[in-house]
Amino acid sequence: MSYMNSELAQAAQARINALGMPKRNNELWSFFPVHKIPSVVDTAGTDCAANGAAAGGIVANSAAVECADFGIAAETDIAALLPIAKSAPAMKKDFAAGETEMGLIKSRDDFGHSIFNIGKNAKVSLEILDNKVEHEIAAERFDINVEEGAELEIFFANPANELPLQFRHFVIKQAANSTVHFSNILQDAGIGRISIDVDLNGEGANFDYRSLSVLKGSASKHQRLTIRHNAPNTVSSQFARNLLDEKSYVSYDGSVIVGNGCSQVNSSQLVNSILLGDESSVSVKPVLKIYHDDVECTHGNTCGELDADQMFYLTSRGIPAETAKKMLMKSFAKELFLPLNDGPAKKRLLQVLASL
């Protein structure tokens, strides 16, 4: 049974329709007034006393979390707000300086909040697994502080199964010479939004984002990134590839802000999409706000179909058209992750690609 025919999906769709939540226009999400969803949010600005939550491989600590710490306004990205407003149980984990650790994160509840502190020079690899939820809306928030010289690898893949409305929000703050590699694969057939706020606060900080969306049906995925270069010699790169079949839709809203006095900043954004279905579509909006001259910032966007000459070449060697199509899809997707270092995340990513 396809996702959109399921009871869960129909309930989610009914909720969207009733609340007038945005479905296609990605910009609307950022300004969605949360008071319009009273049945979801118990009390905006509620006391967010956190509960401990255990996840595979990670021991959670209790932590009191003040809403004010997260700068939540009355109107903000729903993905940022929902977990806090729902008093999501918070999981806090500190990775000690110099530590090397790999972990799996699997939230216990429909609404989760995780706080990670990656200590100086620590090397941490986190794989975020989807939690199986029973409600039509689920949201998670991650606040991640990456200290000087630390390296963090985040890998997030949701499998092609039945999911409700999914919201995920990441707030990442990076100190000098820290590195974050963020890879995600969006594969399910539902409606979701991932938003990421990155502050590159220390000189030499590097943020690398790679995203692959392989969608079909009526799947609708929204990605919103805001990367602030607050220090000189910082680097950010965004590389997204989309394979969109049937009526699926992806929006990509990528903002880069380079502060005054931040010399030698290097920033790139590239989004490549292949529309496999006649009714699939993509919307890409790069926003570059640059307040300093001595920087290099690029952005690009391509959209098209599978290369007809490549299809012909493969089939003219006897490979059936459907197999040839999959070979080209995989090669398109694989390029995205080739530069990543060999490690658990890349291994897992290649496993996901093999299953396409």
Partner 1 sequence: MLSIKNLKASIEDGTQILKGINLEVKPGEVHAIMGPNGSGKSTLSKVIAGHPAYTVNDGVVELDGKNLLDMEICERANSGLFISTQYPTEIPGVNNVEFLKMALNSKRNFLGLPEMNDADFKKLCEEKMQLLEMDDRYRDRGVNEGYSGGEKKRNEILQMAILDPKVSFLDETDSGLDIDALRIVANGINHIMSPEKAVILVTHYQRLLDYIKPTYVHVLRHGKIILSGGPELALKLEEQGYDWIEEK
Q: Is 20 in the site for partner 1 (CB under 8 A)?
A: no
Q: How many residues bind partner 1 (CB under 8 A)?
A: 23
Size of the chain, expressed as the number of residues it contains = 356
Stretch that binds partner 1, among 110-118, 140-148, 228-236, 326-334 (CB under 8 A): 326-334
Q: Is 308 in the site for partner 1 (CB under 8 A)?
A: yes
Closest separation between CB of residue 241 and partner 1, Å? 11
120/325 with CB nearer partner 1: 325
Q: Which of 312, 339, 351, 355 binds partner 1 (CB under 8 A)?
A: 312
Q: Is 318 in the site for partner 1 (CB under 8 A)?
A: yes
Q: Is 325 in the site for partner 1 (CB under 8 A)?
A: no
Which strands form 90-95's sheet, in the order they lie side by side?
A: 90-95, 111-118, 137-146, 165-174, 191-200, 220-229, 249-258, 281-290
Give the bridge partners for 8, in sequence order. none
- Distances in Å between the alpha carbon of 45 and those of 35, 41, 91, 169, 297? 11, 10, 19, 17, 38
Closest separation between CB of residue 338 and partner 1, Å? 8
What is the pattern of x (binds partner 1, CB under 8 A) and - over residues 264-303? ----------------------------------------
170/332 with CB nearer partner 1: 332
Q: Which of 314, 340, 350, 356 binds partner 1 (CB under 8 A)?
A: 314
Nearest to 156 by CA among 178, 134, 188, 179: 188
Q: Is 309 in the site for partner 1 (CB under 8 A)?
A: yes
73/317 with CB nearer partner 1: 317
Residue 118: both structure tokens together: 């990656």
Q: Is 327 in the site for partner 1 (CB under 8 A)?
A: yes
Q: How far apart are CA 313 and CA 302, in angstroms?
A: 23
Burial of 257 (0-12, 13-18, 19+ CB in 10 A): middle
Closest separation between CB of residue 311 and partner 1, Å? 8
What is the rounded (10 degree) CA torsion for 32, 155, 233, 144? 60
Q: How far apart are CA 323 and CA 328, in angstroms?
A: 9
120/334 with CB nearer partner 1: 334
Q: For residue 79, what are the contacts with CB-CB under 8 A and spacing of at least 6? A: 29, 139, 141, 167, 168, 169, 193, 194, 195, 224
79/333 with CB nearer partner 1: 333
Please state at what angle helix 308-315 crosses helix 321-337, rounded to 10 degrees.
Answer: 120
Stretch that binds partner 1, among 31-39, 186-194, 285-293, 329-337 (CB under 8 A): 329-337
134/342 with CB nearer partner 1: 342
Q: How far apart are CA 281 and CA 246, in angstroms?
A: 9
Q: Is 313 in the site for partner 1 (CB under 8 A)?
A: yes
By CB under 8 A, name the binding residues for partner 1: 307-310, 312-321, 323-324, 327-328, 330-332, 334-335
